[in-house]
Structure 1
Amino acid sequence: MTSTLGFAIMSVLARQARTGYELATAMRRPLGYFWTARHSQIHADLQKLLAAGLVRFEAEHGPGPSGKKVYHLTPDGRAALRDWVTEPPQQRPERDELVLKAYASWLADPAELLALFREQLAGHEARIAEYETHQAAMGDVPAVDHPSFGNHATLWCGLGYERHRAAWCRWMIERLAGEV
């Protein structure tokens, strides 16, 4: 049974073969907008994918004394990824610390809570600006069978999320400002 992280790794390798370092770098952007993993997690799942025959590697001469491994998706890996893409996603428990803090906000000093939500709003607005810059640089949305379509789709979702969170922070700030 392949983990969701394993499918994220295979999604990156389906676009092009990469070394472990390049894989970790590619998972920062654009995947890092919605799916994060530490290098140690990536390495562990990569080993499981190798054992399952879903990825393979070619040894190449590296920049240092040891060679480098360039990983690629196998035909079985591509088939497993293709099947997984259309399966319903697993239900995940919601664990949103800021929402939990809002739930318990009646216990807090309104001025301190107001500062927290202003800080959170600034972070969401910064990500919106960053995402909009990426969106403008990406150009037109390609056909759905093109690999970069996924970049557009995930960025669109990320923008919607950040805009929603910014609007919620503004709503909280309006309420809290009345209490200060």
Structure 2
Amino acid sequence: MTSTLGFAILAVLARGDRTGYDIAAAMRRPVGYFWTAGHSQIHGELQKLRTACLVEFETAHGPGPQDKKVYRLTAAGEAALREWVTAPPRERVERDELVLKTYASWLADPETVRRLFADQLALHEARLADYEQAEASYDGPPPFGDPRFGNYATLRCGLGYERHRAEWCRWVLSQLGDGG
């Protein structure tokens, strides 16, 4: 059974052949907006995908002394990805450290909590600005069937999330008062 990370890698490869380095770069942006993985995780998962005959590679001359591996999706990999895309997502366990900290925040110094939320607000506002800049590079949503449709749809989800988190941080700050 392929892991979710494995399917993320298959989704990246469905857009074109890539080296492990290129896959890691795609996993940083745009995939990193909604799914993260380190280079070592990607490398290990590529080996599992290869063993399962979902990806294959060819070697090509690399920039250093060793050849580089250029991975591509196999027909079986594409079929597995197509099946996975429409299957309901697994139920996920919600784990939100900031919400947990908020739950226990009545125990902390209000000014320290205020600083925590001001910092979190700044972080979410910065991400929101980054996402808004990315959205401005589109001339509306690409048509379904275009690989960029997935980029745009996930970007829209990120925009909504960051707007929500920023608004929630503002609300918590308003409940804490001005600190005076």
Task: State if a TM-score over 0.5 links the two structures.
Answer: yes
Q: Which residue of 1 aligns with 2:7?
A: 7
Q: Which residue of 2 aligns with 1:30?
A: 30
Normalising by structure 2, report the TM-score.
0.98
CA distance in 1: counterparts of 2:142 and 2:31, whole angstroms:
18
Q: Which amino acid aligns with 2:158?
A: G
CA distance in 2: counterparts of 1:150 and 1:104, whole angstroms:
38
The alignment status of 1:133 with 2:133, answered yes or no, reads yes
Q: Which amino acid aligns with 2:31?
A: L
RMSD value, Cα: 0.9
CA distance in 2: counterparts of 1:69 and 1:179, whole angstroms:
57
Q: Which residue of 2 aligns with 1:43?
A: 43
Residue 71 of structure 2 aligns to a residue whose secondary structure is strand
Could you list the runs of 4 or more consecutive aligned residues of structure 1 that deviate by over 4 angstroms after TM superposition? none
CA positional deviation for 1:8: 0.1
Equivalent positions of 1:1-180 (< 5 A) are 1-177=1-177, 180=180
How many residues matched? 180
CA distance in 2: counterparts of 1:124 and 1:82, whole angstroms:
33
Q: Which amino acid aligns with 2:5?
A: L
Percent of aligned pairs with the same amino acid: 65
Normalising by structure 1, report the TM-score.
0.98
Residue 45 of structure 1 aligns to a residue whose secondary structure is helix
CA distance in 1: counterparts of 2:156 and 2:172, whole angstroms:
24
CA distance in 1: counterparts of 2:152 and 2:121, whole angstroms:
24
CA positional deviation for 1:145: 0.6
Q: Which amino acid aligns with 1:23?
A: I
Structure 1: runs of 5 or more not aligned:
none
Structure 2: runs of 5 or more not aligned:
none
CA positional deviation for 1:141: 1.1
CA positional deviation for 1:179: 6.1
**Residue by residue, what CA displacement relative to the aligned partner does 1:92-122 show, whole Å, maximum 9, x if unpaired?**
1111000001000110111110011000000
Residues 44-53 or 135-144, more deviating: 135-144
